[in-house]
Amino acid sequence: MSRSPLIVLLLFAAAAAAATALPEYREAPHFTNSEAAQCPPPLPVTDADVACSPHAVVHVAMTLDASYLRGTMAAVLSVLRHASCPESVYFHFVAAAGSSPAPSSVGVQELRDTVRASFPSLAFRVYPFDESRVAGLISTSIRGALDRPLNYARSYLASTLPSCVRRVVYLDSDVVLSDDIASLAATPLPGETTVAAPEYCRANFTAYFTPGFWASPSLSATFKGRRACYFNTGVMVLDLARWRRAGYTAQIEEWMELQKRVRIYELGSLPPFLLVFAGRIAPVDHRWNQHGLGGDNYRGLCRGLHVGAVSLLHWSGKGKPWDRLDAGRPCPLDAVWSKYDLLRPAAEIESS
Ligand SMILES: *[C@@H]1O[C@H](CO)[C@@H](O)[C@H](O)[C@H]1NC(C)=O
């Protein structure tokens, strides 16, 4: 079988287009440190060791990949927009760097360039995350997206980030803040407490693990003497020094190993966190994770805000605001997300 030169040329062109598949994001406005907030001097942009600067007021960790990039960019913009010291926030991005990337996969360098183009003065670093590190530990869950290896990057922050970074705020890519991230980062972590997050003690904790787990005396004893409540791992304050000392990554990996042999839960990266930390976390006001805005996992219904104040909106669940906006079928709260959408022309946002 012979192909005509034209077809070969078209195939090459298609492959080249797939390899540079990232859309053009516009440049975000520059936000400056507030005089009233008594911020330290702005972080330098170029210095490689700036992550260890005592002038970094807040460290934020997020993942970075082509499929959720639009969400990450919006989340970063929302953090800066509402921070009292935006020039003193340092971002740690963990990017997928598979050992054998598919021809169409977007490289770490391209992701870094995209962030830099939209945020010319942002202090950040991109860490390649070797997905093969967790690929063998992942068992399939009810929703394919939950099994992306990058979802597990949050379990490896303690070894990924430099050891000078002690406290970090981890954020999912489908969030938008409407409040100062410094208030969230300042959550007290008493004693050896390592994780802070909003707790949901009225959620049915039993449902997160299989009947087999609860039927096993040795397994269910895990939660004995703990007031274990559900918490969402999309918004967490972590003390990485304590994490390193206690070796929590190895504990999480042990549960993932067990899950591969005996099915003890149905969801992805969340249950190992519950197994290790539920009942041992510091509480955070619910305003910091108004979750579930992605809607129903099965039918994609819209969800509204929970009762109470709002400092962070979280489109957890199946639906993502950017997909619904593109499809012309947004949920009412997706309008809030679209104010931070860097694919949307600025003039359009200012007039809306
Ligand atoms: C909690 O979930 C378990 C397992 O799905 C179920 O058997 C139980 O009835 C639920 N309890 C309540 C109070 O809804």
Q: What is the pLDDT of residues 4-46, one digit of tens each?
A: 555 555 555 555 444 557 899 999 999 999 988 899 999 998 7
203 CA distance to ligand 1 middle (Å): 10
207 CA distance to ligand 1 middle (Å): 6
| pLDDT, tens only, 52-110 | 889 999 999 999 998 899 999 999 999 999 999 999 999 999 998 754 445 446 789 99
User: For residue 274, is it within any domain?
Assistant: yes
- The pLDDT > 90 percentage for the chain reads 68
Residue type, 309: A
Count the domains in the chain: 1
Q: How confident is the model over 253-278, as a mean pLDDT?
A: 91
User: For residue 17, is it within any domain?
Assistant: no
Query: Would the pLDDT of 335 be above 50?
Result: yes
162 band by pLDDT with thresholds 50, 70 and 90: very high
206 CA distance to ligand 1 middle (Å): 6
- CA-closest residue to ligand 1 atom 14: 204
User: For residue 331, is it within any domain?
Assistant: no
The residue among 145 and 63 whose pLDDT is bigger is 63
User: For residue 250, is it within any domain?
Assistant: yes
User: pTM of this prediction?
Assistant: 0.90
User: For residue 102, is it within any domain?
Assistant: yes
Q: Which of 344, 348, 347, 351 is nearest to 73 (CA)?
A: 344
User: For residue 312, is it within any domain?
Assistant: no
Q: Which of 306, 339, 301, 342 is nearest to 319 (CA)?
A: 301
Residue whose CB lies within 8 A of the most ligand 1 atoms, among 142, 200, 204, 209, for a mutation test: 204
Instruction: Please say whether the beta carbons of 260 and 139 come within 8 A.
Output: yes
The CATH number covering residue 87 comes to 3.90.550.10
Residue whose CB lies within 8 A of the most ligand 1 atoms, among 205, 206, 208, for a mutation test: 206
Domain range enclosing 58: 24-173+183-280
- CA-closest residue to ligand 1 atom 6: 207
288 band by pLDDT with thresholds 50, 70 and 90: very high
CA distance 214 to 227: 16
Residue type, 65: D
Mean of the per-residue pLDDT values of the chain: 88
199 CA distance to ligand 1 middle (Å): 18
| Least-confidence region, from 27-41, 169-183, 233-247, 257-271 | 257-271
Contacts of 141 (CB under 8 A, 6+ apart): 147, 266, 267, 268
- CA-closest residue to ligand 1 atom 13: 204
Residues in contact with ligand 1 by the CB-under-6-Å rule are: 204, 206-207
- The pLDDT > 70 percentage for the chain reads 87
User: For residue 314, is it within any domain?
Assistant: no
User: What pLDDT is attached to residue 26?
Assistant: 96
205 CA distance to ligand 1 middle (Å): 8
User: What pLDDT is attached to residue 244?
Assistant: 98
| pLDDT, tens only, 111-126 | 999 999 999 999 999 9
307 band by pLDDT with thresholds 50, 70 and 90: confident
User: What pLDDT is attached to residue 214?
Assistant: 97
User: For residue 112, is it within any domain?
Assistant: yes
229 CA distance to ligand 1 middle (Å): 14
- R_g over Cα of the chain: 21
User: What pLDDT is attached to residue 304?
Assistant: 87
User: What pLDDT is attached to residue 174?
Assistant: 97
208 CA distance to ligand 1 middle (Å): 10
The atom number, within ligand 1, closest to the CA of 211 reads 4
- CA-closest residue to ligand 1 atom 11: 204
Q: How confident is the model over 223-246, as a mean pLDDT?
A: 97
- CA-closest residue to ligand 1 atom 2: 207
User: What pLDDT is attached to residue 228?
Assistant: 96
User: What pLDDT is attached to residue 299?
Assistant: 67
- 237 - beta bridge partners? 169, 196
